[in-house]
Structure formats: structure tokens, C-alpha cells
Amino acid sequence: MNTPKIKRRVGKYEVGRTIGEGTFAKVKFARNSETGEPVALKILDKDKVLKHKMAEQIKREVATMKLIKHPNVVRLDEVMGSKTKIYIVLEFVTGGELFDKIVNHGRMREDEARKYFQQLINAVDYCHSRGVYHRDLKPENLLLDASGNLKVSDFGLSALSQQVQADGLLHTACGTPNYVAPEVLQDHGYDGATADLWSCGVILFVLLAVWHVQISCADYTCPAWLSFSVRKLITRILDPNPMTRITISEILEDEWFKKNYRPPVFNEKEDTNLDDVEAVFKDSEEHHVTEKTEEQPVAMNAFELISMSKGLNLGNLFDEEFKRETRFTSKCPANEIINKIEQAAKPLGFDVRKKNYKMRLENVKAGRKGNLNVATEVFQVAPSLHMVEVRKAKGDTLEFHKFYKNLSTSLEDVVWKTEDDMQAK
């Protein structure tokens, strides 16, 4: 059996599927070919960075993140640059988002929520002490490792915006509406530390109550099942006045917070080399990382299949529990799969852009949250078996569900069905 070739390599990293994307960056699964270690590779477009005058800020934040080695913050290993891209190599965390745990299992008991909240406060406190503010804390940015420990992702990288100004305050409104502090939305400047703390309070409330409502100016009601001590703590965190809002040092002394509290134990004295951070923006060939691309579907190895097995149903095309992405398998050739998706998407009102074995589908009509963008990619699992990922890149999740139901009808002959599936019909 021929071993499928890796489609793309950046330096010593073999690059796989896309696992997330935002306005300025895309995140891909990758593997260190020297050690075999899986990593998350964050890719930024250099032109966009320079156009938005973010080069110095990214340099500063990446350098700071390299120095932050905390057990509850996703580790940043190294930074690389090519002529057109910046590559940030991050720890690959396998336990999924805390958000999914809430969606799948509902509200948490206080003991469980306390454990995650303690780890969140530990991470936030450590980063604030080094002048790093997140400004977009929410359950989707909180990951879980294989042992169930919380890891804050994108700390210092998610909010690529203006730095602290002469008045000592931040002035760019950023973050997610449901979790953003009221003072951030006002045009008077805000303190990054107290704004992050508000978001921590909303996260604690959501863990315990699972109410996805916008909490602004303390307009919320604590459910009756919460203990008096946690209600008191939430009230002090969700104080709309940042000047009187509880501080982290006060949280660490809080009666509810202190129960079963274990301060993190870790070694922060490791030597950190920052040469790569400086080299990224030097426009000389000697500092550029080698990039290689081959026009074949990305090979999906066993580790990646296991890491995504929670959401992978090889037998069914449509998984009713999927939220922002879903996958199916096919025994059709990769080119045929791409053509079938294109033929199915165009009558549904989508423009189609193709690049090798990836497609971007964009609805020409704007929906509730702008134009729905759908990313698809074909991966090779074995010479005669492909896996197809269909993921919402932008737009409304409900519109994505509707689109996928329509798409699934057109792709019935493409999807690999097991004997059990055939008998079920």
C-alpha cells in the first residue's frame, strides 16, 4: 500500500487540517516531524498584519506569550516567518472546548464549576501580573486537556488591537457581547484587568446556570439552586462599576473560591529564547522558513482520527448534534467529491472558490449575521477512503444547519454507508 504524501510542510512541521479560524488568523493541526509531537499552527497573513500596523504589537505579545509558562495557559513554543506568513506554534490541546461540555452536559455542580473557575483565575492572575490581558474570555476560548484541566487559549493574541494609551487605559472595544464588560462598550477607556474579571464572572455564571443571555449592567438573576456564598461572589464580580468591582487578590480570599483550592505548581525559570520573534519580521531569505506544498489531499493519520473521533460518525452523513462543523466519509475519488459539493452548492445560492482539495462556499445573499461562509476540505484516510469536513467559517449557525440539511440530500450517493446503515433504510 502506498503511503499518501503530506500535502504541506512548514519547516519541520507537517501541516494537516484546519481546526479554527478568525479575522486575522487560521489554526491548523500540525506535527513536529522530528519529535512526532502534535501542535496547533496559527497562521497570520503578513500583508494584513502590516496593513493594520500590528507588527510591533504582535512581536511584543508573542514575546510575552513565550515567557508565559503556566499550566492553565496554552503554551507557545516558537514563531516562524516566510515571505507572506507568520507561523505561531502552539500546544495542541485534545479535550475540546469547555463550551461543548456545557452544551452536552448542562449546568455543572458547584464543586466542578469551582475547579474550572479556580484554574481560570490562576491563569488570568498570572498573565495580568505580566501585563497581558485577554479581552475575549468566553467558554469557547477555554480548552480542556486530556486530564480535564483548563487551558486558556489565545491569551494576548485574540484581541489584536490598540495598546494601552497615555491615560493608562485601553480604548478598543473588542470581545464577545455576552461576555464583555459594560465599560468596554463605552468610549471612555477601560482597564484590561477589571474587564477580564467581568468576563470570568459571566463564565462562572454560565457554568452554574447555563443561561446564554447578555449580562450587562448587572441585569441578571441568580437561580435559586445556587448557594448563598457563590451568589455573593458572582454579584461582586458582576459589578457594573469597574472601580468597585472585586479584585483577583480579593477573589483568592473569598470563602467559596478557597474551598479545596490548590495553587498551581510549576517551573517558570526555564530559559526562553526570543531570537525567533525578532527574526519573523526581518525580510531576508535567511530568516524565512521553508514551505513545501504537494497537490494531494492531506493525509489523515490515526492520531488525528482519534483526536476528532468524538464528532466523527463514519456511517451517517448528518449528525444532529453537530454545531459548527460535521464530517462524513466517502469511497469516491477526491476530485469527484469536490465536484459533487460544487454542483450541490451552486443551486443553493453559493459562490464557490476551489483551491486543491479545499473549497470556500459563500452565500451571495446576506443572512442574519452577514453572508454565510462554509469551508470544506477533503482528507485522505486510506488510498480508497476520504473524510470530508464541512465547517461554518462565518455567519449564523442555524443557517449553517439549514444549508447542511439541503446539501446532505444532494450528496447521498457520495457518502460511504455501512451495512448497518443500508439495513436501517
Binding-site residue positions for ATP: 42
- Cβ(21)–Cβ(27) below 8 Å: yes
Instruction: Name residue, grid cell 454579584.
Output: 235
Annotated binding site: 42
DSSP character at residue 3: P
Active-site residue identified among 100, 136, 239, 254: 136
Stated length of the chain = 425
Q: Compute the distance between CA of residue 334 and CA of residue 354 in angstroms, rounded to an integer.
A: 13
Verify whether residue 136 is a known catalytic residue.
yes
- Cβ(202)–Cβ(238) below 8 Å: yes
Active site residues: 136
